[in-house]
DNA sequence: AGAAAGTTTCCGATATGCGGAATAAGTGAC
DNA sequence: GTCACTTATTCCGCATATCGGAAACTTTCT
């Protein structure tokens, strides 16, 4: 469990390790001693690093309970991450439009290592459950429609690497075996979208299309999560069509050739008030 | 501009400084040399720190453009930060309910120093513009309804401190002078909610109520952002009433006395996929 | 192709962070 | 209420990780 990965040396690495630990325990925060134990560090070391992190605003300490948790400054900072190529900004209005017209919840997923991460979501009126969960949530790449759509459109070698790494992680989440997975992937590549009515989450279903870069490789996925009845034979092709059109639009906007794209909107001062 | 603040010493501090810098330039990322210049560091130093941060997943480097930007790992972490007292978790279902019933966008704001930070938002069907912008966005405490609702219900000394500090920062964002601000605050305290139809953003309007702690001081604000027409005389009191009721509910749940509150819901595995 | 700017590696001096030990503060037992 | 125990914090000498100058290497611009 406690990764205990050999040799966290520099104070920076230790600081990050502490932040990681805090991220995993932020219900009510973590205590100094526990952090020290979990990371195999001495209390004074942890204390000093925490002090620095608190001074920097990355960590907050509740002085009464002596518990540490991630600070709001970190929250603010990190909220600005996960916007590669302005992907999130570009997709925001599209997602709003989609959730409004389709009346379902829209997800924006990107790849992060062997996971897919939910970059953004736009709620529809139907309460749904999803693998990726909230914004910032992660899911094994290949599990779930959006995640699968990305995997299917990765460059060949990368896809193979991910498959090899992820197959063991997919136990019990609907991926029966390698053959099944590869069949699914082939189908997604063929159709240009991922959809499974046999949702792993009861009553839930979804459909996703990849957002491609110039080389035709997935950089993200736009995904609709809804209740199964709402993805019937009549509705599905329409939804797919709309999604594909929007994904194509995003692809166009992602093209960094156009120099005008550098400043997309510039609404209000972006801080530094 | 470039703060050039004296004496960033430890590598941890430098690492955080770099992250901060990247957070402010994440359109397409920042280059090593620029970072070095802005922080008054030598390129080798910046390079080494960046390398560590990349290894730790906090920063991504686009190998083709040689630009660095905040990594998605950090984004994931942010999703778990900014949840003091489980405030965000507690408010999430409430916000979903509110945005569904009111058909407007709901914001959850908390105080952070002299700013208000948008902890969460739940989109409604009407596209709106707000001061706080996206999740993680900041705004001067006192500007905007939610922000004002928090300010108005801070402990007296703190409120005074914030007012003193923020008055100069409020130039040109609708706060005419100190008298005006104090009048507004008094009104908000009196009414129990903040609302201005004379939105600073054309056509936009909003109403917010504070979320109070046991001492009656604001810990957060629930806010509705909408188009001005939708906050007419008929609708406003109803919205305020609903908001107040929900805020009271949150206040009850925030009470850490009740030991059962420690585990609120535990829906699905919270990660570790 | 040549020049300039930027990135990355190398390495010795030294400043920085490390953790043992001691102190202080907080918590629970009786 | 006092005592014993756990946890947090400070101190300080030693050692190590960090710094940055110099240089090799790569990319970009003209």
> Which chain B residue is nearest to residue A122, measuring alpha carbons?
B123
Q: Is the pLDDT of residue A79 over 60?
A: yes
B1 pLDDT tier (thresholds 50, 70, 90)? very low
Regarding predicted confidence, which is higher, B139 or A66?
B139
pLDDT exceeds 60 at position B175: yes
**Contacts made by residues B164-173, CB under 8 angstroms, sequence distance 24+:** B165/B114, B166/B114, B166/B140, B166/B141, B166/B142, B169/A273, B169/B114, B169/B140, B170/B140, B170/B142, B170/B143, B173/B131, B173/B140, B173/B143, B173/B200
Q: Residue B228 has what DSSP assignment?
A: G
- Partners of B139 on chain A (C-beta within 8 Å) are 273
Inter-chain residue contact A115 with B273, CB threshold 8 Å: yes
Is the Cβ pair B77, A23 closer than 8 Å?
A: yes
Amino acid A197: pLDDT: 58
Q: What is the pLDDT of residue B264?
A: 41
Considering A10-19, A119-128, B248-257, B260-269, the range whose residues carry the highest mean pLDDT is A10-19
Examine the pLDDT at B198 and tell me if it is beyond 70: no
What is the per-residue pLDDT for A185? 95
Q: How confident is the model at residue A205 (pLDDT cuts 50, 70, 90)?
A: confident
Give A264 or A213, the one with higher predicted confidence: A213
Nucleotides of D under 7 A from a protein CB: 6-11, 16-23, 27-28
**The pLDDT of residue B231:** 86
**pLDDT at B4 exceeding the cut of 90:** no
Asked if pLDDT for residue B202 goes beyond 80, the answer is no
Q: Gap from B54 CA to C14 C1', in Å?
A: 27
Task: Write down the pLDDT at residue A86.
Answer: 83
Write out pLDDT tens, residues B57-103.
899 888 888 889 998 989 998 888 888 888 988 999 999 899 888 98
Determine the pLDDT at residue B166: 94
Residue A259 has pLDDT above 80, yes or no: no
Interval A240-267 mean pLDDT: 70
- Which is more confidently placed, A24 or B197? A24
Strand nucleotide closest to residue A41 (CA to C1'): C19
> Nearest nucleotide (C1') to the CA of residue A65?
C26
Q: What is the pLDDT of residue A10?
A: 87
Higher-confidence residue of A239 and A84: namely A239
Residue of A12, A26, A125 lying closest to B80 (CB–CB) = A26
Question: What is the rounded average pLDDT of the residues A179-193?
Answer: 94
**Beta strands per DSSP E along A32-114:** 59-62, 67-70, 105-112
Q: What is the mean pLDDT of chain B?
A: 84
**If DSSP codes are grouped into helix, strand and coil, which group holds residue B222?**
strand
User: Contact A69/B81, CB-based, under 8 Å?
Assistant: yes
Instruction: Compare all CA atoms of chain B with the CA of A110 and give the residue at the minimum distance.
Output: B72
User: Residue A272: is its pLDDT beyond 50?
Assistant: no
Nearest by CB: A77 against B19, B123, B139: B19
What pLDDT does residue B266 have? 36
Position B243 scores a pLDDT of 96
Does the structure show a pLDDT above 70 at A269? Answer: no
Domains detected in chain B: 11-76 (1.10.10.10), 82-257 (3.30.450.40)
Q: Does B10 sit within 8 Å of A86, measured CB to CB?
A: no
Phi, psi of A76 (to 5 degrees): -60, -45
Give Cα B251 distance to the centre of its chain. 19
Residues in A closer than 8 angstroms to B15, CB to CB, are 12, 15-16
Label residue A9 exposed, middle or buried (CB < 10 Å: 0-12, 13-18, 19+): exposed
Q: Residue B262: its pLDDT value, please?
A: 39
Q: Given an 8 Å threshold on Cβ–Cβ distance, is B268 in contact with A10?
A: no
Compute, in degrees rounded to 10, the torsion defined by CA atoms B131, B137, B140, B141: 100
Q: Are B218 and B108 in contact (CB under 8 A)?
A: no
Does pLDDT of A112 surpass 60? yes
DSSP state of B132: S
- Report chain A's mean pLDDT, rounded to a whole number: 84
CB contact under 8 A, A135 and B137: no
The answer to whether the C-beta of B39 is closer than 7 A to strand D is no
**pLDDT (0 to 100) of residue A154:** 95
- Residues 113-132 of chain A with CB under 7 A from strand D are none
Residue of A153 and B125 predicted with greater confidence: A153
Q: Do the strands B194-196 and A30-31 form a parallel or antiparallel pair, or are they unpaired?
A: unpaired
Which residue's CA lies closest to nucleotide D28 at its C1' atom? B65
Residues of chain B with C-beta less than 8 angstroms from the C-beta of A93: 127
For residues A41, A29, B92, B112, the Cα torsion angle rounded to the nearest 10 degrees is -100
Question: Does the beta-carbon distance from A271 to B24 stay under 8 Å?
Answer: yes
**For A46-71, what is the mean pLDDT?**
89
Q: CB-CB: which of B117, B133, B262 is closest to A75?
A: B117
Q: Is the CB of A43 under 7 A from strand D?
A: yes
Which of B129-138, B155-164, B195-204 comes out lowest in average pLDDT?
A: B195-204
Q: Which pLDDT band, with edges at 50, 70 and 90, does A198 fall under?
A: low
* CA-based nearest distance A157→chain B, Å: 18
**Does B110 sit within 8 Å of A76, measured CB to CB?**
no
Whether CB of B224 is under 7 Å from strand D: the answer is no
């Amino acid at each position: 469990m406690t990764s205990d990965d050999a040799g966290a040396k520099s104070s920076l690495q230790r600081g990050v390790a502490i932040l990681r630990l805090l991220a995993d325990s932020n219900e009510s925060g973590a205590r100094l001693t526990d952090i020290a134990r979990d990371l195999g560090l001495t209390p004074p070391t942890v204390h000093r690093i925490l002090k620095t992190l608190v001074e920097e605003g990355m960590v907050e300490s509740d002085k009464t309970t002596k518990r540490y948790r991630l600070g709001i400054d970190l929250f603010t900072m990190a909220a600005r991450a996960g916007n590669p190529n302005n992907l999130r900004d570009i997709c925001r209005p599209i997602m709003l439009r989609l959730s409004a017209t389709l009346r379902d919840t829209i997800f924006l997923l990107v790849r992060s290592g062997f996971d897919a991460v939910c970059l953004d979501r736009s709620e529809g009126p139907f309460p749904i459950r999803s693998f990726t969960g909230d914004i910032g949530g992660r899911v094994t790449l290949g599990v779930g429609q959006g995640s699968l759509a990305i995997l299917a459109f990765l460059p060949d070698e990368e896809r193979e690497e991910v498959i090899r790494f992820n197959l063991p992680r997919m136990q019990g989440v609907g991926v029966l075996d390698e053959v099944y997975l590869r069949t699914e992937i082939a189908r997604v590549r063929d159709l240009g979208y991922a959809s499974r009515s046999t949702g792993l989450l009861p009553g839930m279903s979804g459909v996703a299309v990849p957002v491609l870069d110039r080389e035709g490789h997935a950089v993200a996925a736009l995904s609709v999560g809804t209740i199964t009845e709402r993805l019937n034979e009549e509705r599905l092709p329409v939804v797919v069509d709309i999604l594909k059109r929007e994904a194509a639009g995003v692809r166009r906007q992602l093209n960094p050739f156009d120099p005008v794209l550098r400043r997309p909107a510039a609404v209000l001062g972006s801080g530094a008030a």
